[in-house]
Amino acid sequence: MSSGESTFPQLHLNINQHTAAAIAVAAAASFALGYWIGSPRISSSNSARPPASALPRSLRPSESFGTFTPRSPAPSEPCTPRGSVNGDISGEFMKLAIVVNKSLDMGPAKIAQHCAHATLAQFKKLHKKRDPGLRRWEMAQAPKVIVGADDEEAMQELRNQARNQELSSFMVQDGNGSNDLTVLAIGPGDGNAIDRVVGHLKLL
């Protein structure tokens, strides 16, 4: 193939590129022109202004100067949070108490595991019953307190006291064959009732 013949594909490619660019520029120019023609423009003469009744209230012309002055929006009602960190909703204080048996001398990992198991089991039990207090506790960011009891006898006594306060509870037993009572979950329930059961215990 001669050198003269090899220029035709390149020339054809350049023509196609130039044509595509020209089409793109023409389309952009047509769009801009159409947008400019179709856009509303405010003239200095009163006859070119749209009637005030056709405008939104916030853009209606000022009576004193005849200019378009945005009006201040109406004040909105203050936003009142539905729950707080400490569980106060509509005058009701909701929280969950987790009691750990200190006599077993469990390590931090085992305590964390059994506390999580007690919390989840109690949550699932109340959710199955459709307990309305569970939802209020969730909306209050699920406040909880973890305390320690001296032994199993104290754990059983706390469970009985929770029943007397009409508080739901769940006891976790060790799965290593000893059946030791490791963790007791009480609530979520009324914070005052929770405090009457575990308020005398020390935090872990």
Q: Does 43 map to a domain? A: no
Per-residue pLDDT of the chain (204 residues; tens, 9 = 90+): 444 444 444 444 444 554 544 555 555 555 554 555 555 554 444 445 556 566 565 555 554 444 445 555 444 444 333 333 333 333 358 999 999 999 998 999 999 999 999 999 999 999 999 999 999 999 989 999 999 999 999 999 999 999 999 999 999 998 877 889 999 999 999 999 999 999 999 998
- Is the domain of 182 the same as that of 92? yes
| Domain range enclosing 149 | 88-198
Q: Do 144 and 99 contact (CB within 8 A), yes or no?
A: no
Q: Do 106 and 153 contact (CB within 8 A), yes or no?
A: no
Q: Which two tokens stand for residue 104?
A: 């077993």
Q: Does 76 map to a domain? A: no
- Is the domain of 103 the same as that of 170? yes
Q: Does 57 map to a domain? A: no
* Alpha helix (H) residue ranges in 39-107: none
Nearest Cα neighbor of 145 from 186, 105, 107, 104 is 186
- Is the domain of 117 the same as that of 186? yes
Q: What's the domain count of the chain? A: 2
Q: Do 71 and 58 contact (CB within 8 A), yes or no?
A: yes
- Is the domain of 26 the same as that of 110? no
Q: Does 71 map to a domain? A: no
Q: Do 97 and 186 contact (CB within 8 A), yes or no?
A: yes
Q: Does 99 map to a domain? A: yes
- Is the domain of 118 the same as that of 189? yes
- Is the domain of 95 the same as that of 168? yes
For residue 92, give the CATH number of its domain.
3.40.1490.10
- Is the domain of 98 the same as that of 20? no
- For 173, phi then psi, to 5°, come to -110, 145
Sign, CA dihedral 144-145-149-153, equals: negative
pLDDT of residue 16: 52
Cα separation of 70 and 100, whole Å?
63
Cα separation of 104 and 111, whole Å?
10
